[in-house]
């Protein structure tokens, strides 16, 4: 054994009564009360003592109970010197009881000190206490030496078994506390992740839309100050109104996503293609299945942004949308056929492919955007 084993206290969890089951606590309390009652009754009704002698015996018994209670408290607090002092008081009370003829109470106290010292104290301190208690018991015992030795060995074994049992219960209690702490941390982490997801949704939906509206409204204000043509001012106001309308629709969609109340991804893409300007078609391959909310939202946002960019920069160009359900990932491919450059004044949400790329990377996927053989190609891959 190492030095730490000899000087280590049993853990507080092992010594606390909370680690003991309720039936076991009730049984222990019942046994203690019965033993105390029998000893007190014997002291008060003994034929050897009368009057003040019986009262002194009762006081000594109550003092032993108080010392035992203090010993339990000091060992729980891991205070060695007070614990040794209290157990010395108990041994002295037992010796005094033996000297006046109360052999049974003395034997109970000696044997109890031997057992609880092994159960609740460091082994380096418990072994001398146990040795002193059992030596006192052996000196006054009338049994044969073999019986006395077997009894002493049984008490030592009982104390050590109780110590191991308490340590096992303490370890189980610590593991339970750690599991509860881990569950609480997991719940807090999930709540923080959900808050981050909501923050991304709000940012994607509102921040870009509002900033684009501000640009058009500021342009309208400048045109008014310069007494510009009425139609130019009206165009800016109409563009801002369209962005506000689209932003409101996107906000409602985001709230539906947060509530888990989304339309199927295939239906959403089909509606998106139907409302797109110019010729657009959609192809869906692979085994269709529900996607996690984050992955589904990423696909929807990238499809919206890609179609908006095609409408802005290549008006009238044909657009092909392909959604492929793979075994481990979903791939969205949006490509246009190219066309004459258009003025970027559409009323799309304007999320930006940079933000979509960051969203894909957060999910462990990737987004590539760049010129293709004919026009512009956007490819999103999200693991599922």
- pLDDT higher than threshold 60 for residue 347: no
The angle formed by the CA atoms of residues 38, 41 and 47, to the nearest 5 degrees, is 125
At residue 277, what are phi and psi to the nearest 5 degrees? Answer: -75, 140
Domains of the chain, first to last: 3-142 (no CATH), 262-384 (3.30.565.10)
Q: Say whether 259 sits in a helix, a strand or coil.
A: coil
Q: Say whether 336 sits in a helix, a strand or coil.
A: strand
Mean pLDDT score, 83-87: 91
- CA 282 – CA 49 distance, rounded (Å): 105
Cα Rg for the chain, rounded, in angstroms? 41
- CA 291 – CA 365 distance, rounded (Å): 14
Q: 3-state secondary structure string, 294-326?
A: HHHHHHHHHHHHHHHHHHHHCCCCCEEEEEEEC
Percent of the chain with pLDDT over 70: 80
**pLDDT, tens only, 302-323:** 888 888 777 777 777 788 899 9
CB 291, CB 265: distance < 8 Å: yes
Mean pLDDT score, 322-347: 74
Give the global pTM. 0.48
Pick the more confident residue, 203 or 114.
114
- pLDDT higher than threshold 80 for residue 139: yes
Give me the pLDDT at residue 331, please: 93
- pLDDT higher than threshold 70 for residue 268: yes
Q: What is the mean pLDDT of the chain?
A: 79
- pLDDT higher than threshold 60 for residue 63: yes
Two tokens, residue 379: 């490819």
- pLDDT higher than threshold 60 for residue 65: yes
Q: How confident is the model at residue 2 (pLDDT cuts 50, 70, 90)?
A: very low
Q: Which residues of 22-42 are buried (b: 16+ CB within 10 A; e: fewer)?
A: eeeeeeeeeeeeeebeebbee
Strand partners, 376: 371
**pLDDT, tens only, 231-262:** 888 888 888 887 787 777 777 766 666 666 66
Q: How confident is the model at residue 19 (pLDDT cuts 50, 70, 90)?
A: low
- pLDDT higher than threshold 70 for residue 275: yes
Pick the more confident residue, 117 or 43.
117
Give me the pLDDT at residue 110, please: 86
- CA 101 – CA 78 distance, rounded (Å): 35
Q: How confident is the model at residue 46 (pLDDT cuts 50, 70, 90)?
A: low
Strand order from edge to edge, sheet including 366-371:
280-286, 319-325, 329-336, 376-383, 366-371
**pLDDT, tens only, 144-183:** 888 888 888 888 898 888 888 888 888 888 888 888 888 8
Give me the pLDDT at residue 57, please: 67
CA distances from 78 to 20, 163, 185 (A): 19, 15, 31
Give me the pLDDT at residue 21, please: 67
Q: Say whether 277 sits in a helix, a strand or coil.
A: coil
Percent of the chain with pLDDT over 90: 7
- pLDDT higher than threshold 50 for residue 1: no
- pLDDT higher than threshold 80 for residue 66: yes
Count CB neighbours of 6 within 10 A.
13
């Amino acid at each position: 054994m190492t030095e730490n084993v000899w000087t280590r206290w049993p853990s507080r969890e092992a010594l606390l009564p909370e680690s003991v089951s309720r039936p076991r606590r009730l049984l222990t309390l019942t046994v203690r009360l019965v033993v105390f009652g029998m000893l007190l009754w014997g002291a008060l009704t003994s034929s050897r003592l009368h009057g003040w002698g019986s009262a002194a015996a009762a006081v000594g018994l109550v003092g032993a109970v108080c010392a035992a209670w203090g010993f339990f408290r000091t060992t729980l607090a891991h205070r060695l010197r007070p614990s040794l002092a209290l157990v010395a008081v108990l041994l002295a009370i037992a010796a005094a009881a033996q000297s006046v003829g109360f052999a049974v109470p003395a034997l109970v106290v000696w044997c109890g000190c031997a057992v609880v010292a092994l159960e609740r104290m460091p082994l380096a301190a418990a072994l001398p206490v146990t040795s002193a208690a059992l030596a006192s018991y052996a000196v006054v015992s009338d049994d044969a030496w073999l019986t006395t030795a077997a009894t002493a060995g049984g008490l030592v074994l009982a104390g050590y078994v109780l110590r191991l049992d308490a340590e096992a219960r303490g370890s189980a209690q610590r593991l339970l506390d750690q599991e509860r702490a881990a569950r609480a941390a997991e719940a807090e982490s999930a709540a923080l992740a959900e808050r981050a997801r909501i923050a991304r949704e709000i940012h994607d939906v509102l921040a870009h839309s509002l900033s684009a509206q501000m640009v058009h409204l500021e342009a309208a204000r400048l045109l008014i100050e310069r007494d510009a043509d009425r139609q130019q001012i009206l165009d800016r106001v109409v563009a801002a109104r369209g962005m506000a309308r689209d932003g409101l629709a996107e906000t409602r969609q985001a709230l539906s996503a947060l509530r888990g109340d989304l339309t199927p991804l295939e239906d959403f893409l089909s509606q998106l293609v139907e409302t797109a300007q110019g010729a657009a078609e959609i192809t869906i391959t692979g085994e269709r299945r529900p996607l996690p909310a984050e992955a589904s939202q990423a696909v929807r946002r990238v499809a919206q942004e890609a179609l908006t960019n095609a409408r802005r920069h290549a008006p009238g160009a044909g657009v092909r949308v392909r959604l492929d359900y793979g075994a481990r990932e979903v791939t969205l491919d949006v490509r246009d056929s190219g066309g004459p450059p258009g003025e970027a004044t559409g009323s799309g949400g304007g999320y930006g492919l940079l933000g979509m790329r960051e969203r894909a990377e957060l999910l462990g996927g990737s987004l590539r955007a760049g010129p293709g053989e004919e026009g512009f190609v956007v490819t999103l891959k999200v693991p599922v």
